[in-house]
Structure 1
Amino acid sequence: MVDGAGRMPPEMRDAVRETYGADDLSANPVFGGGFINFGYWRGIDLRGPLGAAERVRSQQDLYRHVLDSVGPLEGLSTLEVGCGLGRGCALTLREYGPAAVVGMDIHPDQLRRARAAHEDVLRREPERLRFARGGAEAMPFADGSFDAVVSVEAAQHFPDLAAFAAETARVLRPGGRVAVASFFTVDDVPGRSGELAALLDTFATGLDIARPVTALTEAFTASGLRGARAQSIGPHVWPGWDRWLSRLWADGTWPRNFLRAYEQRVLDYYLVTAARDG
C-alpha cells in the first residue's frame, strides 16, 4: 500500500514494533499522563514528594521547551515526528494557536490510540488536527508543507539520522524551523554503544540507538539547514527522571542507570535546533 505522497509505508524495526505494539506503553505508571517521555523537571521541587501532577507537568514542560524553541506558532503549520498518542499535538493546539498540527508516527497501533484519544477534536476541527502514518526517513508529505517540525524523545529510535534530516529539510517551508529533543552519546569515542548496552536494556535490545549528538547536527547542516545547534538539557532531565524512577525501581536496577550514564559522561539529553533559509 502506498501513502498519499506516493511513498511506501516504512518498515518498522522489531524492537519498535514490539515496544509500542499491543500493550499501551503509556499505561505504564512510569509514563503517567499519557505522554511517553522522561520529562523536563526545571521548576519542579525534587526535594519534596512527587506525584502524578508533577510527573504530568514534567512531560508537558518538555513539549513546551521544544515548542518554545521553534518560535511563535500562531497561525502556522506544525508537524510532530513520532507523535505517539498525540498528547503533544493536543498541547500544541491548546496552548500555541497553530493553524494546523499533524502528528506522524510509524506504528499503526499508536496512531489508532491517538485517533481514539482525540476523537472529539478530530471531529470538531478536522482542518486543525490530523494523524498520518510515516517514518522519519520517508515522510508522506509534499515539499514545503510545514512551518515547523518537532520531535520529542523519538530520534533515539530513528535508524537513519541523515535521511531524517533530509526529509525535514524537504518538508519545511522557507524560514521554517526544526527542534528535536532526545538523548545521544556525548561524543563518538569507540565503544560507547557497548557501554550503553551494558548499562541499559533499551540499548542492549536495540530499541534505542547509540549515536553522538553531532551525528544529528551534522546531518541537519548537510541537508542544507542552517544554524544547527545542540544544547544539553540533561541537568533538567536526568535528576528528575531518576527521582521519579526511585518510586518504582530500586537503586542498581537498569532504569536507574540513565542517571549513571549521564554522570559518567557517556549519555546526555539534548535539544537540537536548526532552520531553513527564508
Structure 2
Amino acid sequence: MAARQSIVKDVRDVVRWHVWTRVRPSTRTRVAYELFADDHDATTEGAYINLGYWEPGCSSLEEANEALADQLAQASGMGPGDHLLDVGFGLGAQDFFWWESRRPASITGIDLTPSHVAAAQERAVAEGLTESLSFSEGSATDLPFEAERFDRVTSLESALHYDPRTTFFAEAFRVLKPGGTLAIGDIIPLDLDGERSSTPRLAPQRKGSLSGGMPAANWVPRAVYAEQLEAAGFVDVEVRSIRDRVMEPWLEYWQHKLAEDSFKSSVSRLFYSQVKRSLTSDAGMKGELPALDFVIASARKPTA
C-alpha cells in the first residue's frame, strides 16, 4: 500500500494535462491527449483524468472517478476469472481500482501514448502486479491481439478519440470471446428528443474542450451509436445516459476548486489559467457542456 501511495503522489505532483490532436507518423493514428511529467508541475487529485460519477454527497474527484470506473465495471459484468482488455487506459488508475475491487484474472491495457504506458508500468512494478496487470502501446483501431482472447473489453472516456470509433467496435468484437462483453464510457452529442434523426446542436470543438480531437465520424447521438454497435455484430446493446451525475457536477466541482486559494498556489500558473479560462468562459467547456452527453454503452458478442 505504501508503494501505491508513493506512485500516486508522484503522479499528482508532476502530471500536466495537454489536450491536442496529432498524427503519429509510424502508425498514422491519432493521439488525442497526453499526460506527462515536466518542469511545470500541476497538482491533481489522484491519477484519473476522467469526469467522474458524482453520487450525492461526493466531494472528491478521485472518489467520483472510482464511482465512474465502477459504473463501467458493472456494465461489463467484470468479475473474478475474467481476462480484461482496457483500451485507451490513460494512466491506468481504473485498472488498479478494478484489480482491487473486481479481482479479474488479468488486465491488459493498451494506449497510444508512451508516457501513459510508462507511468502505468512503473506503478505495476512498484505494487508487484506485473504478472496480473500489463500495459503496452497500441492502437484501438488495430488491436495487436489474436481473435477471441478476452472476456471483457473496456474503454473509459477515450473512445470518442478513436479514428473512427466504429473500427474499434469491430476490433473489440474480434478479440472478444463468444459471450464476452464490451463496455464504454463515452462523450457524445446530446440528443434531446431521442430520435435517430436528431441533429446534434454542436460540432466537435477545438483542442482543450471536452470534444476536442473528436473525429467528425464519431459525432453521433445515442440511437446511431447503438446502431453502430449492432452493425459490428453485437447484441444486447444498451447506450444509457448518465450525464446528470457527470457533466454539471464535474463543472461545479472545478468551479469550486478555482475559488480556493490553496488550489491556485498548488498548480502551475499556466495550468491554472488554462483551467480558469476553459471552465468559466462560454467559449470553453462551460459553454460546450449543455450540448454534450455522457453515456455508458454495453454490448455482448453472441455465443453462436
TM-score by length of 1: 0.80
Matches within 5 A, 1:221-232: 221-232=230-241
Q: 1:217 to 1:10 in 2, by over 3 A?
A: farther
Q: What's the CA shift for 1:215?
A: 4.4
Report what 1:235 is aligned to.
244
Which AA in structure 1 matches 2:205?
A
Report what 1:20 is aligned to.
34
Q: 1:9 to 1:174 in 2, by over 3 A?
A: farther
**Residue pair 1:9, 1:135 contacting (<8 A) in 2 also:** no
CA distance in 2, matches of 1:67, 1:28: 29
**Residue pair 1:229, 1:272 contacting (<8 A) in 2 also:** yes
Report what 1:254 is aligned to.
278
**Residue pair 1:10, 1:134 contacting (<8 A) in 2 also:** no
Deviates more, 1:33-42 or 1:243-252: 243-252
Q: What's the CA shift for 1:236?
A: 0.4
Matched, 1:69 2:69: no
Matches within 5 A, 1:184-199: 184-187=188-191, 189=199, 192-193=202-203, 197=205
Q: 2:99 aligns with which of 90, 93, 100?
A: 93
Q: What's the CA shift for 1:248?
A: 4.2
**Residue pair 1:249, 1:255 contacting (<8 A) in 2 also:** no
**Residue pair 2:255, 2:279 contacting (<8 A) in 1 also:** no
CA distance in 1, matches of 2:225, 2:114: 26
**Residue pair 2:36, 2:116 contacting (<8 A) in 1 also:** no
Q: 1:219 to 1:118 in 2, by over 3 A?
A: same
Matched, 1:276 2:282: no
Q: What's the CA shift for 1:42?
A: 1.5
Deviates more, 1:164-173 or 1:184-193: 184-193
Q: What's the CA shift for 1:76?
A: 0.9
Q: 1:139 to 1:166 in 2, by over 3 A?
A: same
Report what 1:5 is aligned to.
none
User: Aligned pairs, how many?
Assistant: 250
CA distance in 1, matches of 2:61, 2:276: 22
Report what 1:4 is aligned to.
none
CA distance in 1, matches of 2:162, 2:298: 17
**Residue pair 1:230, 1:271 contacting (<8 A) in 2 also:** yes
CA distance in 1, matches of 2:200, 2:95: 37
- The 3-state SS of whatever aligns with 1:118 is helix
Matched, 1:11 2:17: no
- The 3-state SS of whatever aligns with 1:197 is coil
Matches within 5 A, 1:45-124: 45=58, 50=59, 54-121=60-127, 124=128
Q: 1:190 to 1:246 in 2, by over 3 A?
A: closer
CA distance in 2, matches of 1:72, 1:85: 20
CA distance in 2, matches of 1:68, 1:203: 24
Q: 2:187 aligns with which of 179, 183, 186?
A: 183
Q: What's the CA shift for 1:120?
A: 2.9
Matched, 1:160 2:164: yes
**Residue pair 2:187, 2:292 contacting (<8 A) in 1 also:** yes
**Residue pair 1:80, 1:151 contacting (<8 A) in 2 also:** yes
Deviations 1:98-153 (A, max 9, x none): 110011101111101111122134xx443311112111101111101110011111
Report what 1:169 is aligned to.
173
CA distance in 2, matches of 1:28, 1:219: 39
**Gaps in structure 2 of 5+ consecutive residues:** 1-24, 192-197, 260-274
Matched, 1:126 2:150: no
Q: 1:12 to 1:249 in 2, by over 3 A?
A: farther
Q: What's the CA shift for 1:192?
A: 2.4
Report what 1:38 is aligned to.
51
**Residue pair 2:184, 2:296 contacting (<8 A) in 1 also:** yes
CA distance in 1, matches of 2:97, 2:78: 14
Which AA in structure 1 matches 2:238?
R
Which AA in structure 2 matches 1:10?
T
Q: 1:252 to 1:9 in 2, by over 3 A?
A: closer
Two-structure CA RMSD over aligned residues (Å):
2.7
- The 3-state SS of whatever aligns with 1:167 is helix
